[in-house]
Structures are given as structure tokens and as C-alpha cells.
A and B are shown apart, each in its own frame.
Chain A
Amino acid sequence: MLSKESLAKIDRELTKYPAEQKRSALMSALRIAQLEHGWLSNDVVEAVADYLGLPPIAAMEVATFYGMFNRQPVGKFKLTVCTNLPCALSGGADAGKYLQQKLGIGYGETTADGKFTLQEGECMGACGYAPVMLFNNHTMCNHMTPEAIDKKLAELE
């Protein structure tokens, strides 16, 4: 289920915690598994749990709690728009609407060509740069005005 490279990365995470507290490395392990598979299917969650010696339901709890873990297959580009209050007041809700209109999909949906997935996200701790959007969990995009969104989408196309 998990590649040698992924397992090696998980092993490295495990060295950060005491041997009897493998649970501590669960979030990292799920992140690594998601990088490999794109999303966390039940099988992947179970494989991670088995590797860490945890009950699968314990891994499932974590995998379903955090918005950055994908429990459904996602498009090549995942855009997460913050719609918490500070962003919403500074145009976050509008940015979301603009993206929906532009991509022709709602929150939690993927475009038919499998390129884009749009998600609503919780506060990303960058309210000063509102509205913000997270690209593929790893890149933060600031001040997402319609122009900035157009520019970003053009880059990705």
C-alpha cells in the first residue's frame, strides 16, 4: 500500500518520538501517505495505522478531523479558500464565489477534467493578507482579488 520511499519518510518521523508513542507520528504519516496517493482511502488509512501499530479507527479519527487530509480523490490542483470571518469580511466569500463561477463547480467538487478541486478552508493564520487561498496544501496565495485569481489560474492552466 505504501511505497518504500514513503515508509522511509515515516520512519524518519518516528525517530522524533519515543518508541512507545508511535501515535505521535500519525499526522505526519498520513501526510506522507497522502502525498503518495493523492488522497486517503480507507485502505491507505488502515495501512498507515497498521504500520504504526495503531487501531485503524484511531487513524481514521485523525484523517477525518483535519481539512487538509483528502478523504475523497481530488483534482490535480486543490484550491482551499478561507471563508472564516476575517477573510470573509475582506472578500474571502467573494473570492470563493468567483472561483465557483469561474471553474463551474461548488465547494467540495472537482472539475470534469480532473484538474481543479475547490474547498472551503478554516483560518490559515494569515488574516492580514486576506483573502487567502491555499494551493495543494502547501502554497499560500495572498490577497486573492478576482485579478489575482485569474492570474493564478492562468499559471496553472
Chain B
Amino acid sequence: MLEVEIDGKKLTVPGGSTVMDAANSVGAYIPHFCYHKKLSIAANCRMCLVQVEKAPKPLPACATPVTDGMKVWTHSDSAVKAQAGVMEFLLINHPLDCPICDQGGECQLQDLAVGYGKSASRYEEEKRSVVNKNLGPLISTDMTRCIHCTRCVRFTEEVAGYQELGMPGRGEHSEIMSFIGKTVNSEISGNVIDLCPVGALTSKPFRFSARTWELSRRKSVSPHDGLGSNLTVQVKDHQVKRVLPLDNESINECWLSDRDRFSYEALNSPERVTKPMIKQGGVWQQVEWTVALEYVANGLKSIVADHGVDSIAAVATPQSTLEELFLLKKLANGLGVQNTESRLRQHDASFATAGVQWLGQSIVELAESDAVVVVGSTLRKEHPLIAQRLRQAVKHGMKVAAVNPHGDDMLLRLAGEVVTRPDQLVEGLLAVLKATVEIKGATCPAHIDTSHTEITDVARGVANILAAGERASIILGNLAVQDARAAEIHAVAAALAALTGATFGVLTAGANTAGAELIGFNAAGDVFATPKKAYVLLGAEPDFDTANPVKALAAVEQAEMVVVLSSFQSCAYDYADVILPVSPFSETSGTYINMEGRPQSFNGVVRPLGDTRPAWKVFRVLGNLLGLHGFDYGTSEEVRDEALAAGVEARLNNNAVAHVHVKARAAGNGLVRLAEVPLYQSDVLSRRAPSLHATVDAQVAETLRANAATLAALGVAAGDKVKVEQGGTAELVVALDARLLDQVVRISAGHPLTRDLDSAAALQVAKA
């Protein structure tokens, strides 16, 4: 510990602290631009110059380590003079266009110029101007405003993992840019907008739509992946204008993924439904809520009476709130219906755990592991900020290994990697298990047969990492949980964890996947396997949210009655009988339980659009209409408290219900499809955000990808069109993905272009 005096205040700080750290700890504000707590120190803006005793000239606080007995003055005459001098230089080339700048009102340069700038400039020469750059559909540029702090450059390199921005040129000629003709394609690129201390990088979708002081700031929780990022939703005239991160060190830190940040566009989409509608004689008619609800109540009652309770299924997505799921289940159960389900993308009906699947630890604890094995996950796309956490942890010594059906670059140094065919993920894990058994000198659990498994070098590599880790973790991603052999993957991964003492966790796919499990919503298994007479679909789109869209659509199309509760128009017009407009997350209060089992409640940030109503209120009224008991809730908090009455922690359990017998299967040698749900098709909101769909990630999802050998065997080249036959057909453009194994074709699932494909059917690809 070192003793230091800042502005006359004595304090002790740990060795290695900088003057900036010390000042922050006592709340002394030092003006700065290039310094950011999560980025490396550049010390190139010079704004944080402070006076230090015995130093002949001012020193930059962000890059000056504290020494014992140091005396620092952050606002002495000498310090202020130095800071004002730096400010004068920063303003030399900065345009005076604050009135038309989107950053105006939330600009660090503007704020500090008020404190340190002069009212007029002494600079009379020509200002330089810099050509704007095209950084893609999300980031808008005004490069003349740039003050070259390089925060954005350091972000892409250090946090996003790949340097997409740089500062070519020297001195007067240096400019921030991407490589010629390239855009910024990171899945967390939007954070550079927050980082930019001036108006050089601003949000393209938000551009010129509101001034910062007109916006009210409201807290919310991200409705996408299982992380549960905390949001500041900015609102004007009852419309969501933009979404910014809310700092939460234990969840999203100060970052947001682009999906969290830009999917709000969907909330203001013209596709929103605002009136209840009933289909009568094949024609859609807008009706009052009372009429629609009566219709639903009577319809459900008569189906139960005519066909029995097993003829109805209530289906929801994991983006529904805990309150909605709880009341939907209560409603269904009140009618005697037990078929409620939200695991719509699960292929393996036999996969079930004894309790709520979760990360097995907190997110912070995961990042503190010294070895992590990721199984079956496109981590950067499924859980962008978990990938970011691991990337930072790797720099501090964590070893990350992957067992995956693809070789996607996680943009971190992988210590080991097993790449398998998509249908051989189990065998890949078995090889790791066998290697671990060998290393540990242990015996393999009886229910797992590794006698036909060969240990590969890569498997041994992963096993070594796992065995050497003192705090190891094994985490299953979406690809693993949604795999056709999920139960076997789970069994082998759990055995690996038991053998090595590693923490076993599941990266929950949806914002409320854990919540749905917690209240026992998932009771039906595959609700589309045997078609029902009636379906109640809460936010679920059978053509995109399900493991097998062909079967799901067929099931809802043949149903006598389909009640759709949704915020958006969709092809529900074809199969639904009633459409009830319900609120998206921004217009209702609710609770999501994230992957670490943490319930996070939020309030609506805007009032419901048109006649839209929060779904929990709709269920409350329906419950009363149906004459069911216990639907007299006044607030969603009462619903939540009832749903969470039994607590969360005790229910978290990743153990399998029963031992699953696992035996290696011989690898097939035909074409096999890797069907992943693309980043921006994961839920109803991201599907309808136009800017996200203009990104490279969204364009890649539209292609069929395979390695060079596979493409050659198919007789096609990148850029060609191919016809895919798998149950139905799809026409896709071919792209190269060199890191896939032979005979693997990567075709998106849950995507409009591939909705006719049946992932269980035989696959054929031919040049179109």
C-alpha cells in the first residue's frame, strides 16, 4: 500500500495504482478523454495533466503510477493551466457544429470545453476536415470531430478481440478508419458509440431522431440472450428512441451486444399489431378486447369439452416474462390442460434435468475460472458478452478450450479445440472423457461406454487443460442443448465435470429460459409432434422459433383454434383464429431470470402501443372470464412474488433426471447440416430490426457455408447458387467456411430462407 495525498486529502492505495485510480477512489474528478477504465492506457489526449510535487512539469494522471508519499494537485493553478492549454489544442481542429451534432448535450468535449475552453479561439488558420468513413449500418461517422483519443481502436483490439479500426497516417494526417472498403463487423461494435467522447462515432439508427435532453432514461433488462444485460432505455413521446447499457459489473459491465442495443428498432416497427383481431369466414376483423377475450374463453372451453384437456397446448418463447409464463401455466392448468412448453428449439425430447438449468455459478465466477471448456456453442453469436468476458480472462491466464461442430474464431487464444461433425459432438466429447480418464487414472462411469472411442491429440489437449485447472468450468451452449443428442452430450459433459471437479453449467439461450424452467412451464415436450386441436401461442412463431418449422406449421395449420398473443404481425394471419396484441418487454412490467439464476424485474418504459395490453393482464382477465380461482392480481409484483415464493437457488440443478446410456456411434459419411440459429433471428425483436439485418453477420446467415473440399465435391464455388433439399427446398448462395469439417454444410435454422427445410430429413445440395 502506498500513501498519497490528492488535493490535500491523504489516502492509501494499492501498489501499481495510477494517479487517476487514486483520484477516482476519493471522488476527485480529473478531466480526461482517452482514459477508460476497461481499456489500456494510451495517455494521448493529455487532458488529465495534473501537478505532482517535485515533478518539473505536469504529468498525465492516467499514466503516472503512484509513488509513496506523492502529493498531487488536480486543480491547482498549474494543473488547470495545463488542462486549459490542452483543451485549446483539442479545439483547434474541432468543428463548431454542436447544434447539429448528435452528441450535443452528452459530449465530454462539450462539457469540458465549458470548464476549460476559452469563449473564442485564437486559431485563425484553416481547420482540417476529414472524409467520413462507412463503418457499416450501425455506426455513423463525422470524422472531422475526432480528437484521436483511440478509444474505439483500443476497444476493437482489446475488447472485441480483432482490430477493425486503426489510426493510419501521422500527426496532422492521422485519421481513424477501418481498412479500405471494410466495415466494423464485430457483434459488440455498438459500444464504440458510447466510448467516443465526441460526436465522431454516433448511432446510425438513432441519428437525428432526438436530442439527449428530451429523452427520459428508464431502466430495463435485455430480452434476448440468457445474460440479462441491464439497459437504460431512452424514451421520448412514449416511443423508445434508443437503448444504452446500464453499468452492472456482475452482468454486462459497461457493454451491450449489438442485438441488445439495436433491436429496439422492432418496437417501433410498422409490423406491430395494435388491435385484437378475429378471423371470421376467412376474413380478419378488428374487434374490441372484450369480444376477443370472450371468443377465446368460449373457444378454449368448448375444445376442452369436445376433445379433452390433452387437445390443447400452450406454447411460449423463453423471451416471455416470468409473470406471463406463470399466469399462462396457471390458466392452462385451471382448464385442466397440462401441455405447456417453451423449449421449442430442443430437438432431443429425452433431454431433461432435475432442476433449472443454469450456469452452475455466477457470471463473475465463470470469468474467474482458470480453465473453461465450451461445448457446442457459437459463443460470440449466442452470448456475445460471455465471449467478451472469457476474452478478458484469457489475458489474465485463463485457458479456454472448445468442443464444437464448427471452428469459428472466438477471437481469443484457444488453448485447445476439438472440431467435430454436427452429428458427432458426443463422440468428440467421449474422446475428451476417455483422455481425462486416462490422465486421472480414474474409471469411466458405468453408463458411458468409451470402448469404441479413440483418443485424438486434440482431445488429449482439451483433457489436459481441464485436468490441470484448479477452478475449471464446462459450459454447454445453445448448439449442445438444441442438438438431436442433447441428453448424451449432457451426460458426457457432466461425467467430465464430475471426474475433474469442474463446475458444470448451461448457457441458457433465452432471457427467461431459466424462469420458464423454474415455474415448471416446460411440461409437454414436443407439442407439435402430435398435432393438437388448439394452440395458444405466446410470442412464439412456429416458423422461426421451433426446432422443426415444417412440422410446427403443419400442426398449427390443422388446429381448430389457434390463439396468437403477439406484438407483431406475421404469417399468423394464415393459421391463427384470434390475434391478441400483447406488449413487448418495453411496455410491460416483468421479470427475467438469467443464466446465473438471478431474477431481474423491470417496469414498462413506455405505455402500450394502441390497444396493446401486457400479456399478464390479458391472462388475468381470461382467468376471470373462465371462472378460474386465483386470478385477482393487482400488480405484476404479486404475480412475481407468487411465482418466486419457493425461491430460486434451491431449484437450480444441472443434474440429469436419470443416467443416459452413451455409446459412440460411427461417423456417417454423407452430407450433414449444421443448423444454427443466427444471431439476429434469435427472437421476435431481433428478427424485425432492419439495421441489424443490414450487418455482415445477418448476410452471412443467408448463405450456405462449407469448406473447400466439400464445395469441390458438390461442384460449386463461393458465390454460386445452390438448391438445398431437406424435406422442403431452399435456394442459397454459397460461401466458404474453411474451418468446417468435410461433408459439413452450415445452413441457418429459424431463418426465412430456410423455413421449408426439415432438419431431420435427408439432405441434398446441388447447383441451382
Chain A residues with a Cβ under 8 A of chain B: 42, 46, 55-58, 60-61, 63-65
Contacts and interface: CB of A to CB of B under 8 A. Distances in A.
Contact of A60 (B157, B162, B166, B170): B166
Given A55-B162, A55-B163, A60 B168 contact: yes
Given A55-B163, A57-B168, 19 more contacts: A42-B179, A42-B180, A46-B179, A55-B157, A56-B179, A57-B163, A57-B164, A57-B165, A57-B166, A57-B178, A58-B163, A60-B166, A61-B167, A61-B168, A63-B168, A64-B168, A64-B169, A64-B170, A65-B168
Given A56-B179, A60-B179, A65 B170 contact: yes
Contacts of A60: 166, 168, 179-180
A91 to B, nearest CB: 25
Nearest 10 A/B pairs, CB to CB: A57-B166, A64-B168, A55-B163, A56-B179, A57-B179, A61-B166, A42-B180, A60-B168, A65-B170, A64-B169
B182 interface: yes
Interface string B161-190: 011111111100100011110100000000
Contacts of A61: 166-168
A64 B164 CA distance: 16
Interface string B98-134: 0000000000000000000000000000000000000
Nearest to A20: B413
Contact of B164 (A42, A55, A63, A65): A55
Nearest to A43: B180
Contact of B177 (A46, A57, A65): A57
Contacts, number: 37
17 contacts: A55-B157, A55-B162, A55-B166, A56-B182, A57-B165, A57-B166, A57-B177, A57-B178, A57-B179, A58-B166, A61-B166, A61-B167, A61-B168, A63-B168, A64-B173, A65-B169, A65-B170
A72 to B, nearest CB: 14
A63 B167 CA distance: 11
Contacts of A58: 163, 166
Majority-rule SS of B interface residues: loop
Contacts of B162: 55
Contacts of B170: 64-65
Interface of B: 157, 162-170, 173, 177-180, 182
Nearest to B177: A57
Nearest to A64: B168
A65 B162 CA distance: 21
Nearest to A71: B168
A13 to B, nearest CB: 21
A60 B178 CA distance: 10
A65 B171 CA distance: 9
A27 B348 CA distance: 54
A55 B179 contact: yes
A63 B169 CA distance: 8
A57 B174 CA distance: 13
A73 B169 CA distance: 17
Contacts of A55: 157, 162-164, 166, 179
B655 to A, nearest CB: 40
Nearest to A41: B180
A70 to B, nearest CB: 14
Contacts of A46: 179
A67 to B, nearest CB: 8
Most interface-central of A57, A60, A64 (chain B CB within 10 A): A57
A46 B182 CA distance: 12
A43 to B, nearest CB: 10
A55 B177 CA distance: 13
A17 B173 CA distance: 31
A64 B171 CA distance: 11
B184 to A, nearest CB: 10
Contacts of B167: 61
A57 B183 CA distance: 11
A64 to B, nearest CB: 4
Contacts of A64: 168-170, 173
Contacts of B157: 55
B410 to A, nearest CB: 15
A46 B181 CA distance: 12
B189 to A, nearest CB: 14
A65 B170 CA distance: 5
A8 B670 CA distance: 41
Contacts of B177: 57
B536 to A, nearest CB: 50
Contacts of B180: 42, 60
Contacts of B178: 57
Nearest to B181: A42
Contacts of A42: 179-180
Contacts of B179: 42, 46, 55-57, 60
A42 B178 CA distance: 12
A121 to B, nearest CB: 13
Contacts of B166: 55, 57-58, 60-61
Contacts of A57: 163-166, 168, 177-179, 182
A107 to B, nearest CB: 14
A60 B181 CA distance: 13
Contacts of B163: 55, 57-58
Most interface-central of B163, B165, B179 (chain A CB within 10 A): B179
A71 to B, nearest CB: 9
A55 to B, nearest CB: 4
Nearest to A61: B166
Contacts of B164: 55, 57
A57 B163 CA distance: 7
A65 B168 CA distance: 7
Contacts of B165: 57
A61 B156 CA distance: 15
A48 to B, nearest CB: 12
A64 B176 CA distance: 12
Contacts of B168: 57, 60-61, 63-65
Contacts of B173: 64
Nearest to A58: B163
B138 to A, nearest CB: 18
B572 to A, nearest CB: 44
B166 to A, nearest CB: 4
A58 B150 CA distance: 13
A88 to B, nearest CB: 18
Nearest to B170: A65
A64 B157 CA distance: 19
A90 B169 CA distance: 29
B718 to A, nearest CB: 17
B501 to A, nearest CB: 30
A25 to B, nearest CB: 17
A56 B170 CA distance: 17
Contacts of A56: 179, 182
Most interface-central of B162, B169, B180, B182 (chain A CB within 10 A): B180
A56 B168 CA distance: 11
Nearest to B162: A55
Contacts of A65: 168-170
Nearest to B169: A64
A149 B523 CA distance: 91
A60 B182 CA distance: 13
B188 to A, nearest CB: 16
